[in-house]
C-alpha cells in the first residue's frame, strides 16, 4: 500500500449484535467529529441485495483505514463477524501495519490475533471517550475543530421520556436507532413552547396532530400536514416526525425551561414513541403518562416566602409542600389529601407560603451552595393527583456573627409523578 492511498472509511466497526447499543454511540460520536465511519445500519441501502461476503470483504479489507473489533464471546462465535475479522486480518498482513484495533468486552481468544496484542477494555471507557481515543489513533487534530462539532445526545430506545438541555449541542438530540432514528433540532421559543425544525438529515417532515391528547388519538399519521418547515408545539402538544426512510415517531412536550425568562438553564422534557412496522397508527403503542400540570416556583428570599405559579390554563389544587434539608428527597406523604386544598386558577399565583430553611452556621463572608429537594402535592381539574419534585440550588453567605444568610434560590424541575389512588 502506498502512503498516498485514500480510503472510503477512516474506520470500520466490527461487532456482534449484543454490543450494538454501545457501538452505535461510538459511531455517532465519530461521525460527530467528522470521521468517516462504517456502521452497518447506516449503510443498509449500500449492502442491500449484494453478496454479503464480497461486500464485507471489501469494506473491512480494503475500504477502511482501520478496523475496530469489539471482542466478546458472541463476536468470536458468529459467522458474519468471522467474515469481517478475516478480511481485516488479511488486509493487516498485506499492509504490514497495526490496522486492526481491539476493544474487549470479554477476554476471549480471537482467532488470528496474537495473544500479545495490546487492547483496551470497553468497561474502562464510555462510548464517547472511546471515540476520542480512536480519533487520536487516527491522528485527528480535535484542537482544530470547533468545540460545537460533536455528536448530539442519543436515546436509542423506541419509547422514552427524555430530559434535554437544548441550549447545548446546537439544540440537537437523536431518538431511536438505525433506520428508525430521528435527529431532532430544537430551539427556544418561550416558557410554554419550543421551536422544532425540519432541517436534519434524518428528518423528512413534521406535523401537528390536531385534537390529539393520547397516542390512541393518532391513527393515521400519514394523512397529517407535513408541509411546514418548522413547528412551535406547546407543553402538552403532540406532533409527528417522519424520518427519511418513511418511519414515524410521535412526540409530546412535557416541560420547558427558558433561561431568558428566569430559568437557570434551557431545558426540555419530552416523551416519544417510534413505530418500527412502517405503519402510521399509534393506537397500539404504550400510552403516554398523564400530563402533569406545569407549575413554577418563586422565592422571596428577604421575607422567607414561596409562591407557586400555575402556568397551565386549567385550575389546580395545592395540598402540601414538603422539603428535606438532608440532601435526599423527602419521603412520600400519604396524608396530603386530608389537608385543605388551595385552588389556583389557570395562569395565576397562589398566596405566598412561609418557607423557612434550616441554615447551618458558616464562616463570615464565605459562600456555600446547597441542593435541596422540594415536593409539591397538587391535583388537576379531573382529580388526578401528582407529586412534582424540584431541586433547589440555594446560595448562602456567612454573616459576621457566623450565621448563614440565604442569598438566592433557583429551582429546577426534577420529576412529576402521577400518584396512585391509595397513596
pLDDT in tens, 139-176: 888 777 666 666 788 898 999 999 898 988 889 999 99
Measured between alpha carbons, how far is 127 from 125 in angstroms, rounded to an integer?
6
Boundaries of every domain in the chain: 9-144, 154-274, 295-418
Three-state DSSP state, 186: strand
Secondary structure of residue 49 in the 3-state scheme: coil
Question: Is a pLDDT exceeding 90 seen at residue 4?
Answer: no
Q: How confident is the model at residue 3 (pLDDT cuts 50, 70, 90)?
A: very low
| Residue 104: count of CB within 10 angstroms of its CB | 18
pLDDT at 319 over 90: yes
- 2: pLDDT strictly greater than 70: no
pLDDT of 327 strictly over 90 = no
The CA distance from 161 to 44, in Å, is 28
CATH, range 9-144? 3.40.50.10140
pLDDT category at 422 given cuts 50, 70, 90 is low
- What is the per-residue DSSP string for 358-408? ------TT-EEEEEEEEEEEEE-TT--EEEEEEEEEEEEEE-TTS-EEEEE
Output the pLDDT for position 146: 67
Cβ count within 10 A of residue 358: 9
Q: What is the predicted pLDDT for the residue at 359?
A: 78
The mean per-residue pLDDT over the stretch 66-86 comes to 95
Question: How far is the C-alpha of 334 from the C-alpha of 178, rounded, in Å?
Answer: 45
Flag whether the pTM goes above 0.85.
no
Among 111-115, 269-273, 385-389, the range scoring the smallest mean pLDDT is: 111-115
Amino acid at each position: 500500500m502506498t502512503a498516498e492511498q485514500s480510503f472510503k472509511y477512516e474506520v470500520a466497526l466490527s461487532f456482534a449484535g449484543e454490543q450494538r447499543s454501545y457501538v452505535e454511540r461510538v459511531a455517532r460520536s465519530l461521525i460527530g467529529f467528522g470521521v468517516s465511519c462504517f456502521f452497518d445500519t447506516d449503510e443498509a441501502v449500500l449492502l442491500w441485495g449484494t453478496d454479503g461476503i464480497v461486500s464485507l470483504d471489501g469494506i473491512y479489507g480494503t475500504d477502511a483505514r482501520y478496523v475496530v473489533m469489539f471482542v466478546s464471546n458472541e463476536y468470536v462465535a458468529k459467522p458474519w463477524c468471522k467474515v469481517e475479522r478475516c478480511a481485516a486480518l488479511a488486509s493487516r498482513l498485506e499492509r504490514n501495519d497495526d490496522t486492526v484495533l481491539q476493544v474487549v468486552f470479554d477476554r476471549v481468544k480471537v482467532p488470528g490475533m496474537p495473544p500479545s496484542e495490546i487492547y483496551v477494555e470497553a468497561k474502562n471507557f464510555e462510548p464517547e471517550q472511546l471515540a476520542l481515543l480512536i480519533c487520536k489513533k487516527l491522528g485527528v487534530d480535535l484542537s482544530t475543530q470547533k468545540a460545537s462539532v460533536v455528536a448530539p445526545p442519543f436515546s436509542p430506545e423506541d419509547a422514552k421520556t427524555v430530559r434535554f438541555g437544548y441550549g447545548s449541542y446546537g439544540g440537537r438530540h437523536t431518538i431511536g436507532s438505525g433506520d428508525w432514528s430521528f435527529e431532532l433540532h430544537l430551539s427556544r421559543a418561550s416558557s410554554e413552547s419550543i421551536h422544532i425544525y425540519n432541517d436534519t438529515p434524518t428528518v423528512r417532515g413534521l406535523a401537528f396532530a390536531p385534537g390529539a391528547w393520547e397516542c390512541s388519538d393518532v391513527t393515521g399519521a400519514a394523512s397529517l400536514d407535513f408541509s411546514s418547515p418548522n413547528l412551535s408545539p406547546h407543553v402538552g402538544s403532540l406532533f409527528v416526525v417522519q424520518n427519511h426512510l418513511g418511519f414515524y415517531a410521535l412526540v409530546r412536550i412535557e416541560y420547558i425551561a427558558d433561561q431568558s425568562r428566569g430559568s437557570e438553564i434551557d431545558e426540555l422534557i419530552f416523551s416519544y414513541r417510534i413505530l418500527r412496522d412502517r405503519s402510521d397508527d399509534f393506537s397500539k403503542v404504550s400510552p403516554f403518562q398523564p400530563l402533569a400540570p406545569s407549575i413554577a416556583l418563586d422565592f422571596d428570599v428577604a421575607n422567607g416566602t414561596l409562591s407557586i405559579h400555575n402556568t397551565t390554563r386549567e385550575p389546580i389544587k395545592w395540598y402540601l409542600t414538603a422539603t428535606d434539608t438532608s440532601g435526599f428527597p423527602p419521603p412520600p406523604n400519604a396524608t396530603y389529601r386530608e389537608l385543605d386544598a388551595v385552588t389556583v386558577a389557570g395562569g395565576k399565583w397562589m398566596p405566598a407560603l412561609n418557607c423557612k430553611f434550616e441554615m447551618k452556621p458558616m464562616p463570615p463572608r464565605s459562600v456555600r451552595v446547597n441542593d435541596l429537594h422540594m415536593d409539591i402535592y397538587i391535583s388537576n381539574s379531573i382529580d388526578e393527583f401528582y407529586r412534582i419534585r424540584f431541586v433547589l440550588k440555594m446560595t448562602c453567605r456567612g454573616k459576621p456573627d457566623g450565621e448563614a444568610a440565604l442569598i438566592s434560590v433557583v429551582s429546577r424541575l426534577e420529576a412529576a409523578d402521577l400518584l396512585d389512588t391509595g397513596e
